[in-house]
Amino acid sequence: MNDISQKIPVTVITGDLGAGKTSLLNHLLVNNNEKKLAVIVNEFGEIGIDSDLVLRSDEEILEMNNGCICCNIRGDLVRIIENIIINFGQTEQIIIETTGLADPAPIIQSFWIEETLIKKTKLDSLITVVDSFHFNKHKDCPHVRKQISFADVILLNKTDLINIEEQKNIEEYLNILNPLAKFIKTKFSAPNEILFNIGGFDLSNALKIDPLFLISNNHKHSKDINAISIKNNQIINGDLFNKWIYKFAQFNGENLYRYKGIINLDNEPRRFVFQGVHMTLDGRPGKPWEEGEERINQVVFIGRNLDDIEIKSGFNSCTI
Amino acid sequence: MYTKYEEYALSIISGGESNPPKINGKLNFKDDWSQTAFALAINLSKKGFFEMEEFRQEMIKTIKHWENNHSLDDKSWNYYEIWVSVLEKLIYEKEVLNRSEVSSFFKKIIDCKSQILNE
């Protein structure tokens, strides 16, 4: 295993057409003077980078005079990233834009399965850009709802075009679809906050899941996508949990979007942290519990038509 | 998925410059003291005194230092002597024991090792 500090962080950006992804990428490339970015997109011509900033360009790669690069995603993502690592060693952050992909899951899973990506990169977060202004028109689109449910960060764009009440309603709605995501409000896709080092896929340093964890599952406005949350102080049997979660992920993989947990496994000195996307699952010991600290299990499953009773009884069957 | 810390720790330390000696994929300890030192490091890490990645980075540094100061065919190479020196360093740095406790503790391990070598 390589030193994790040498791995290039990767951010995946998704969102519906017209939500503002391209503007966001343009903003990140042009206004960022700190990090050397490599942006992977369908067609870099669409990002509209000012030609004065372009150093050189070929079919596949456009180099900017601030050290950033743009790559066209022709075929294999692994090959493109290998090319970036070999030929653009100064790259400090990779951003992948998923235009045309309703389901960001295959990209996320690649970072857990492909050996080169595991060795050389670390997935940081998935950011979904949401068009606040047209939200009511698109909120029932299955692919929009899926992109929202996968997100670590939801960029609520075009907030200058809606009022505070509408913003609040959208946030409440989105929170039910995805209680794990952080919200950032933007106008013209220009966030004031830094979108890097979110740690959405890095549970090794996590002490808890999220303070907004305590949403009631009774408020189920969502027709298809739902979130199931579990919080208790039981001790979980490691062998039973291992068997249950793998079986559950295997049988329900298609409907499981993202799931994360920090649990007290076998009353060991360290937390056990796990996360998954569809059937792909990762789990390992995390941060140590403090002496005298109350050990609380916190688990969230987000997916399609998840059975609240099945999940809770399955998890509870693993208690010691 | 690593539900057991010991397996997780082994996955961190294996597969690179810090890879412990193995025979047919299984850990190989020539002596009891090396097995003790191995278990001690894993347990201290499990309890949170240091992260296994930190231990691994120290192993890599120390191995490189040894290689820079010895020829390739130097028969005095012993992986677990390096392991003990890294463990000693971290036990002291992380204040698991104070300096005199560290010295006396590792003297016991080294005496145990010497006894075995002299047998």
Query: CATH 1.10.760.10: does it fit domain A225-316?
Result: no
The amino acid that residue A240 corresponds to is: L
Cβ contact A129:A15 at 8 Å: yes
Range of A17-21, A46-50, B57-61 with top mean pLDDT: B57-61
Q: What is the DSSP letter of A319?
A: B
CA proximity to A130, closest of A146, A112, A117, A110: A146
Range of A21-25, A193-197, B38-42 with top mean pLDDT: B38-42
pLDDT at A103: 78
Using a pLDDT cut of 70, give the percent of chain A over it: 92
Render pLDDT for A285-313 as a digit per residue (tens, 0 to 9): 999 999 999 999 999 999 999 999 999 99
d(Cα A205, Cα A196) in Å, to the nearest integer? 16
Residue of B nearest to A272 (CA): B3
Per-residue pLDDT for B82 more than 90? yes
Residue of B nearest to A281 (CA): B1
Per-residue pLDDT for A219 more than 50? no
Is B90 inside a domain boundary? yes
Taking the CA atoms of A14, A144, A302 and A250 in sequence, report the sign of the dihedral they define: negative
pLDDT at A29: 85
Superfamily in which the A4-209 domain is placed by CATH? P-loop containing nucleotide triphosphate hydrolases (3.40.50.300)
Residue of A nearest to B55 (CA): A3
Render pLDDT for A200-213 as a digit per residue (tens, 0 to 9): 998 787 777 764 44
Using a pLDDT cut of 90, give the percent of chain A over it: 48
With bands split at pLDDT 50, 70 and 90, how would you rate the model's confidence at A156? very high
With bands split at pLDDT 50, 70 and 90, how would you rate the model's confidence at A270? very high
Per-residue pLDDT for A178 more than 70? yes
Phi/psi at A241 (5° precision):
-65, -45
Per-residue pLDDT for A189 more than 90? no
With bands split at pLDDT 50, 70 and 90, how would you rate the model's confidence at A274? very high
Determine the structural domain holding residue B9 and report its residue range.
Answer: 4-108
Is B115 inside a domain boundary? no
pTM: 0.86
Is B114 inside a domain boundary? no
CA proximity to A165, closest of A120, A197, A132: A132
Which chain A residues have a beta carbon less than 8 Å from that of B5?
A: 268-270, 285
Cβ of B48 within 8 Å of Cβ of A285? The answer is no
Q: State the complex-level ipTM.
A: 0.83
- The burial of A132, by beta-carbon neighbours within 10 Å (0-12 exposed, 13-18 middle, 19 or more buried), is given as buried
In whole angstroms, how far apart are CA A41 and each of A14, A61, A73, A276? 11, 10, 6, 25
Is B116 inside a domain boundary? no
d(Cα A41, Cα A124) in Å, to the nearest integer? 18
Cβ contact A105:A277 at 8 Å: yes
Cβ of B16 within 8 Å of Cβ of A2? The answer is yes
d(Cα B56, Cα A289) in Å, to the nearest integer? 22
Render pLDDT for B12-23 as a digit per residue (tens, 0 to 9): 999 788 999 999
d(Cα A253, Cα A247) in Å, to the nearest integer? 10
How many CB atoms neighbour CB A89 within 10 A?
9
d(Cα B116, Cα B119) in Å, to the nearest integer? 5
How confident is the model over B1-30, as a mean pLDDT?
92
CB-based contact (8 Å) between B94 and chain A? no
Cβ contact A134:A166 at 8 Å: no
Tokens of A60: 């596949």
d(Cα A243, Cα B22) in Å, to the nearest integer? 29
**Count of A–B CB contacts within 8 Å?**
46
In angstroms, what separates the C-alpha of A283 from chain B's closest C-alpha? 5
pLDDT at A215: 47
- Domain with residue B17: its CATH number is 1.10.472
What is the tally of structural domains in chain B? 1
Which chain B residues have a beta carbon less than 8 Å from that of A239?
A: 3
- What does the domain layout of chain A look like in residue ranges? 4-209, 225-316
Q: Are strands A270-277 and A256-263 parallel, antiparallel or unpaired?
A: antiparallel
Cβ of A274 within 8 Å of Cβ of B1? The answer is yes
How confident is the model over B40-54, as a mean pLDDT?
94
pLDDT at A102: 66
User: Which distant-in-sequence residues (6+ apart) come within 8 Å of A32 by Cβ?
Assistant: A66, A68
Range of A50-64, A273-287, B86-100 with top mean pLDDT: A273-287
pLDDT at A26: 86
d(Cα B54, Cα A89) in Å, to the nearest integer? 25
Cβ contact A153:A125 at 8 Å: yes
d(Cα A169, Cα A180) in Å, to the nearest integer? 17
Is B113 inside a domain boundary? no
How confident is the model over A57-81, as a mean pLDDT?
84
pLDDT at A211: 42
Range of A66-75, A170-179, A251-260 with top mean pLDDT: A251-260
Is B22 inside a domain boundary? yes
- The burial of A281, by beta-carbon neighbours within 10 Å (0-12 exposed, 13-18 middle, 19 or more buried), is given as buried
d(Cα B5, Cα A270) in Å, to the nearest integer? 8
